[in-house]
Every structure is written in C-alpha cells, then in structure tokens.
Amino acid sequence: MKQGVKIALLGFGTVGQGTVELLTKNLQVIQNRISVPVTVDKIYVRNPDKYSHITLPNTATFVTDYKDILQDPSIDIVVEVMGGTTFARTCIEEAIIAGKHVVTANKDLLAEAGPYLMELATKHHVDLRFEASVAGAIPIIRALYDSFGGNQITEIMGILNGTTNFILSKMSEDGLGYEEVLKEAQELGYAEADPTSDVEGYDAARKLAILGSIAFNKRIFFEDVSCEGITQIDASDIQFGKEFGYTIKLLGIARETKKGLSLNVHPAFIADTHPLASVRGSFNAVFLRGNGFDEAMFYGRGAGSLPTGSSIVSDIMEVARNVAQGKTGEMKQFYYPQKTMYSSSKIESAYYIRMTVDNSTGVLAKVATKLAEQRISAHSVIQRKADNDTATLAIITSKCPHAYIQNLIDSFNHLRVVREVGSVIRIMVE
C-alpha cells in the first residue's frame, strides 16, 4: 500500500485557493477517512509574486512551468483549476498520457471534450474525476454514476446557474426589472462584467451536457443542448406568473423517452408547490426522476471558493484512496452512441403568453379563434386595461408541441387587434 499521495495544482485562483485551504484545515479528517496522507507538492502559476500574501502548506512550492509537474514522477494527482478549453486541455491530456490522475472543475472543457478525455483516461489506466464541474458543492455527478447507478434515469431538471437564479429571485421578490437587478448582481460579484455565458444560458447548458452524458450513457456535447436565456424576461411576466400560481426559473431539463433524448435550457414557470420553486438567491438544485428511487432533489451552493473546493477535495480523496490501494483506472465507461436526440420543436409543454391588444370588444373572440385553429386551449386568461387604446392579455395555454406555439405566435402577429406579442414562456406541468 502506498504510504502517501502527492498532488499538484494547475492554477491558484479562487477555487484553487479554496481547495488548498480545505486540504490544510481538514488534513487530519481527510487522512482518517482515506487512511493515507495527502500533501500538496507543487502549484503552477504564471506569476508567484501575485500570491506572496498567501501562506502555503510547508510541503508546497510554486512553479512557473507546468511541465515541472507533469514530468515529476512523484506527483500522483494533477488538479486542474485554471479554466479555459485550450491550454487546460493540453495540460490534462499530457497529464493523463504521463500516467497521472486528474481532478478538474472545468465544465467548459468537459462539455466540449468530456467523452474523449474519459476514453483517454481509460486507455492509460488513470482516474479522471470532475464532481466540481457541475453545481459546486452538490455531489450530483457521483450520485448519478454511483448512488443511482442501478437506475434508469428518466429526467433531470435543475437550477444550474447561481447568477441567473439570483437575478430572477431578486426580480420576483423586489419587483425590479432585469437590467436593474443585473447591475446589482455585478456589483455584488454574482455576475461577471460580461454576463453573457450566464444570462444566455450557456453555462447551464454546459453543465446539463455533462449530467446528461452520465445519466443517459450517451456522448452529449454543449451543441446538443437547445438554449434560451433570461434577458427578455419582464417584471410584468413575473407578476402575472404569481397570479397564476407560478415561480419563474432558468431550468436545465434533460429527458429520455421512447422518442429519444431531449436537452433544453430555458426560462420556465413552475408551480409554487414544486420543490425547485423555493430555491432562492445564488443556490443551485437538481431534481431527478428514476425508475428505482422515483424522485430525489439535491440542493446547495453552486459556486464559490470553498463549495467548489469541497467537491474537488472529495474527488482527490477518492482518487488518493484508489492510488493507495492500487485500484486506479477501474471506472467503467458510461458513454454509448446508440441513442437518438428528440427535436425540441416536438416537445410538449403548456405556455404563458403575454401580449398587448386593442382595448375593444371582440378581441378575446378573435384571439380564441386563432388558438382553436392551432388546436390549443386557453386554460386561464387575465386581461388588464393598459390605457384607453390598449389592454394586456396574459394567457395560460394547454399542453402542446412547441411547433404549435410558434405557428400560433405567427398568426397573432398577423392579427390586426394584436399590437405586440411580448413574452412566450414555457410552463412545466406534470
């Protein structure tokens, strides 16, 4: 049995510092649980002077050439916390080929090349772990491939991005507009100066691709996920949603049916009684359905130095235990190519539609006629006078394919009494 395990970090930003902090503070707890000491040996950074104010563990030193890590035969585990998809990929590939085990939090890279990297790790008989790539401290990846490994997962529905959940929660609680709340989120550090990846749904889509690959045993990539963001959500939509009994969230939804797989990220109304409706602020949550456990939900911090570091340390502990016992490279491949994708245009959902119409008699009848032509029913309608000339209609439709709604909106846009179709938002119904 190996007497000790040495690790090295590629990068020392927020997440890297949180990882080292936990490894240092909880050293005895970690060693007691895995029965082997874990030490931080080297940390790759471009400019060590930037971190002169940080006290490193006695065993650790900075290096400015990543090959000092990859070519060191004493290093067992490489922890990649740099981010990005180019240099990080090069480092991970070279580490695997050099026979080193890898722990990473890099969702962008995994959504782009996860299956390839897993196959490379299997080929070279090393471990590759990536719990921290999705939902921070929430152990959702291990739950999917381990705890629920004997189940057929049928649905994943999650709040996978803390920035957008903070924005939508704030809009809902304070009645504020999108731009105002986005500015506050940036000031508080929840949103980047360029928030595109978060607010357009790209970050959540990458995480959903990773989860879907594991849950459904298929090579799923970022481009396989249909994606819509929250930039068009209006405060009035949130208020109407409340009146109908709904809460709005940016959801990542992956389903497997007899028709195939569908993976979508989009804003959606969910019933106030659903467990995901109570997830506020920057928290994440993942709701699962499977044929053995029925339903399960995981909730926690989705980002941050220590929450993400917690998942990285968990992976380090698992790999270190494998190294000590000589059982590395035993994780079975779970990617198989045989399953088909189901077109998002065919997915059925109920919808919320908000539009500005003429404030005159007969408008509702004309709107109802267009709904009937598309074989769609109106389950609930709220009509409010806006001014002497216009009114606002908020409609909850019956469940129907997305293509039907697209045709309906097109017909509304050609109806003279309709001034503008302002919002079209999906409603999650059982």
Render pLDDT for 26-59 as a digit per residue (tens, 0 to 9): 999 999 999 999 999 999 999 999 999 999 999 9
pLDDT at 183: 94
Residue 153 carries which side chain, given as an amino acid letter? I
At residue 38, what are phi and psi to the nearest 5 degrees?
A: -120, 125
Residues 359, 391: Cα–Cα separation, whole Å? 5
Residues 278, 268: Cα–Cα separation, whole Å? 14
Locate the domains of the chain by residue range.
5-136+304-325, 140-301, 344-427
Tokens of 410: 């097109």
Q: Is the pLDDT of residue 102 over 90?
A: yes
Calculate what percentage of the chain has a pLDDT beyond 70: 97
Task: Identify the H or E element spanning 226.
Answer: strand 226-227
Q: Is the pLDDT of residue 1 over 60?
A: no
Q: How many residues does the chain have?
A: 430
Residues 400, 398: Cα–Cα separation, whole Å? 6
Q: Is the pLDDT of residue 351 over 80?
A: yes
Q: What is the pLDDT of residues 145-182, one digit of tens each?
A: 889 988 999 999 999 999 999 999 999 999 999 999 99
Residues 325, 341: Cα–Cα separation, whole Å? 40
**Mean per-residue pLDDT of the chain:** 93
How far is the CA of 39 from the CAs of 10, 45, 77, 308, in angstroms?
Answer: 15, 18, 10, 19
Q: What is the pLDDT of residues 201-246, one digit of tens each?
A: 999 999 999 999 999 988 888 999 999 999 999 999 999 999 999 9
pLDDT at 242: 96
Annotated catalytic residues are 207
Q: What's the topology of domain 344-427?
A: Alpha-Beta Plaits (3.30.70)
> Measured at the alpha carbon of residue 143, what is the angle toward residues 90 and 128, in degrees to the nearest 5?
20
Q: What's the topology of domain 140-301?
A: Dihydrodipicolinate Reductase; domain 2 (3.30.360)
- Taking each helix axis from N to C end, the angle separating 27-34 and 305-325, rounded to the nearest 10 degrees, works out to 40
Q: What pLDDT band is residue 373 in, cutting at 50, 70 and 90?
A: very high
Range with the lowest mean pLDDT among 1-10, 207-216, 235-244, 306-315?
A: 1-10
* Average pLDDT rounded to a whole number, residues 184-213: 93
Domain 5-136+304-325, classified CATH 3.30.980.10, yes or no: no
